[in-house]
């Protein structure tokens, strides 16, 4: 069982992660901001918030803790593809594609490194991949193949970022919040460079900028800081399992705040993805 106080912090973190999908979709659908500007403001706001959290906690800066340019590149790729994907898809579809791609990347990496899957795990992995394929079928839930591929790329990038985080921790990085702050700070010049390249396509308004700031500072920066505080107290299976709630929260939020609808085929695909990943996670020793 997870203690009540810890449950509260974990719940806040999951709401924050799902909130990123809702805020991005809301901004790109209902305001005048473009994906590049949203990405820039989100990353800058997230970097500032995380640096403030680190300063308040008086984190000790070491070369291992202070971020990494390759990790920052993966984080930047995730943020850019995430924003461009949400131009043309619902919050629920995007969250499912993202989550499925992240888990498939990390599980696939483990298999490539020699991890063996039991028969239930292999069946669960195949079921989750089948759900992703069904979710991408034309006319089901995703408006365009380009949007689907963009979100899948975002998921792969986030999976790579997560795997690099585990690698750096094994090499002495002991403060994940500080490491994330360093990575966010390194994405800012990348986002500025993209904005210069896309200068003729940039647009924004007050509402769009507001959604981007909230997404970066609260849903990303503060959400990650809370998650990293709770993570050491969670078992690995608990940590992986609670993240299954993120696409569900995003789907419910999309219905409540964006007027999205959940079709039967989409619900079946969602069940396949989340159920399949659950089998892989819960079967692990």
**DSSP secondary structure letter of residue 116:** P
d(CA 159, CA 165): 10
Do 81 and 255 form a contact (C-beta atoms < 8 A)? no
% of residues, the chain, pLDDT over 70 = 90
pTM (2 d.p.): 0.90
Which phi and psi angles does 46 have, rounded to 5°? Answer: -65, -40
Q: Which residue reads 């959400």 in tokens? A: 223
Look at residue 140 and tell me whether its pLDDT is greater than 60: no
Q: Which stretches within the chain are classed as H helix?
A: 4-30, 35-57, 69-85, 91-112, 119-135, 145-170, 176-197, 206-214, 223-230, 236-242, 245-258, 264-283
Average pLDDT, the chain: 87
pLDDT tens digit string along 147-204? 889 999 999 999 999 888 887 776 666 688 888 999 999 999 999 999 999 999 999 9
Phi, psi of 203 (to 5 degrees): -155, 150
CA distance 34 to 23: 13
pLDDT, one tens digit per residue, over 70-116 is 999 999 999 999 999 999 888 988 998 898 899 889 888 888 888 88
* Distance (Å, whole) CA 95 – CA 15: 12
């Amino acid at each position: 069982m997870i203690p009540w106080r810890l449950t509260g912090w974990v719940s806040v973190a999951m709401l924050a992660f799902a909130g990123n999908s809702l805020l991005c979709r809301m901004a790109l659908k209902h305001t005048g901001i473009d994906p590049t500007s949203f990405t820039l403001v989100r990353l800058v706001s997230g970097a500032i918030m995380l640096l403030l959290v680190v300063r308040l906690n008086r984190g000790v800066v070491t070369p291992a803790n202070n971020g990494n340019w390759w990790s920052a590149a993966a984080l930047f790729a995730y943020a850019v593809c995430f924003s461009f994907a949400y131009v043309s898809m619902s919050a629920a579809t995007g969250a499912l594609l993202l989550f499925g791609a992240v888990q498939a990347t990390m599980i696939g990496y483990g298999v490539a490194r020699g991890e063996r899957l039991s028969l239930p795990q292999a069946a669960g992995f195949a079921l989750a991949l089948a759900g992703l394929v069904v979710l991408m079928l034309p006319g089901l839930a995703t408006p365009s193949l380009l949007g689907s591929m963009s979100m899948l790329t975002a998921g792969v990038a986030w999976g790579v970022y997560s795997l690099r985080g585990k690698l750096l921790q094994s090499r002495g990085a002991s403060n994940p919040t500080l490491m994330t702050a360093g990575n966010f700070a390194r994405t800012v010049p990348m986002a500025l460079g993209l904005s210069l390249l896309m200068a003729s396509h940039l647009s924004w308004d007050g509402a769009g900028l507001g959604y981007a700031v909230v997404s970066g500072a609260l849903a990303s920066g503060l959400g990650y800081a809370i998650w990293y505080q709770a993570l050491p107290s969670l078992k690995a299976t608990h940590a992986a399992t609670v993240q299954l709630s993120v696409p569900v929260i995003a789907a419910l939020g999309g219905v409540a705040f964006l007027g999205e609808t959940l079709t039967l085929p989409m619900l079946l695909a969602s069940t396949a993805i989340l159920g399949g990943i659950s089998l892989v996670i819960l079967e692990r020793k």
